[in-house]
Structure 1
Amino acid sequence: MTSTSIPQLLVAAGSSGSGKTTFTLGLLRALKRRGLAVQSFKCGPDYIDPKFHQLSSGRPSINLDLFMMSPEHMRAVYARHTQEADAVVLEGVMGLYDGYVRMHGSSAEVAKTVGIPTVLLVDARSSAYSVGALLYGFKHFRQDTEVVGVVFNRVASENHYRFLREAAEDAGVIPLGYIPKTKLLEVPSRHLGLSLRELQELDALPEDVAALIEKHVDVDRLLEACMRPRPAVPAEEAVPTSAPGRKIAVARDEAFNFIYEENIRALAAQGEVSFFSPLKDEALPECDLLYLPGGYPEFYLSELAAAERSRSSIAAYAAAGGRVLAECGGMMYLCRTIRDEEGKAYPMCGVLDQEATMEGMRLRLGYRKLRLGGREYRGHEFHYSSIVSQEVGEETVGEQLTARDEVAPTLLYHRGNVLAGYTHLYFAEQDPFALFS
Structure 2
Amino acid sequence: MKRVAISACGSNRGKTILTTALLYHFRGNVRPFKVGPDFIDPQFHKRVALKESINLDSFMMSKEQVEWIYYHYATEEWAVIEGVMGFYDGDDRGCSTYSIARDLDTPVVMLLDGSGSYITIVALLKGLLEYRKDNTIKAVVINRVSSKSHYELIKNLISKEFHQIEVLGWIRKDLESLRDTHLGLDLRDLSKIEAISKEVLEHIDIYRLSKIAETHKKRVKNSYPFPKFKRLDKKITIVNDENFSFLYYDNLQFLKEMFKEVVVIDSTKDEAVPNDTDFLYIPGGYVESVDAYNRIKHSNSFKNSIVEHSKTKPIYAECAGLLYLSKKVDDKVMSGVLDIEFELGNRFARLGYYYNSDGVKGHAFHYTKPTVSTLKKGFDTLYKRVGSKGEVGSWATNQKKVFGTYLHTLFRVNPKIIERFFDGS
Q: Same fold (TM over 0.5)?
A: yes
Query: What's the CA shift for 1:242?
Result: 2.9
Gaps of 5+ in 1: 1-5, 193-197, 340-344
| 1:27-426 paired onto structure 2 within 5 Å | 27-32=22-27, 37-82=29-74, 84-99=75-90, 101=92, 104-172=94-162, 173-182=165-174, 184-185=177-178, 199-204=187-192, 206-229=193-216, 231-232=218-219, 234=221, 237=224, 240-271=228-259, 272-285=261-274, 286-297=276-287, 298=289, 299-320=291-312, 322-339=313-330, 345-362=331-348, 364-372=350-358, 376-390=359-373, 395-403=377-385, 405-415=387-397, 416=399, 417-426=401-410
Query: What's the CA shift for 1:46?
Result: 0.3
SS of corresponding position for 1:419: strand
How far apart are the structure 1 equivalents of 2:89 and 2:363? 17
Q: Assess if the C-alpha contact under 8 Å between 2:244 and 2:282 holds in 1.
A: yes
How far apart are the structure 1 equivalents of 2:188 and 2:278? 36
Query: TM-score of the superposition, structure 1-length normalised?
Result: 0.88
Rate the CA distance shift 1:58–1:361 in 2: closer, same or farther, 3 A. same
SS of corresponding position for 1:371: coil
Deviation string for 1:244-266 (max 9, x for gaps)? 21111110011001001111222
Deviation string for 1:71-92 (max 9, x for gaps)? 111101101111x311111011
Q: Assess if the C-alpha contact under 8 Å between 2:145 and 2:173 holds in 1.
A: yes
SS of corresponding position for 1:23: helix
Query: What's the CA shift for 1:394?
Result: 6.3
Q: Assess if the C-alpha contact under 8 Å between 1:241 and 1:269 holds in 2.
A: no
Deviation string for 1:382-433 (max 9, x for gaps)? 112222233x666433332214652322421121311112111222223132
Query: What's the CA shift for 1:145?
Result: 0.8
Q: Assess if the C-alpha contact under 8 Å between 1:128 and 1:163 holds in 2.
A: yes
SS of corresponding position for 1:350: coil
Give the equivalent residue in structure 2 for 1:18: 13
SS of corresponding position for 1:274: strand
C-alpha RMSD of the superposition: 2.3
Give the aligned length. Answer: 410
Letter in 2 for 1:379: G
**Percent of aligned pairs with the same amino acid:** 31
How far apart are the structure 1 equivalents of 2:11 and 2:35? 13
Gaps of 5+ in 2: none
Deviation string for 1:105-164 (max 9, x for gaps)? 111001111111111001111111221121122123222112110001100001110111
Query: What's the CA shift for 1:208?
Result: 2.6
**Greater strand content:** 1
Letter in 2 for 1:401: Y
Deviation string for 1:205-241 (max 9, x for gaps)? x323311233210111111112113653735626632
SS of corresponding position for 1:201: coil
Larger displacement relative to structure 2 (359-368 or 13-22): 359-368
Give the equivalent residue in structure 2 for 1:342: none
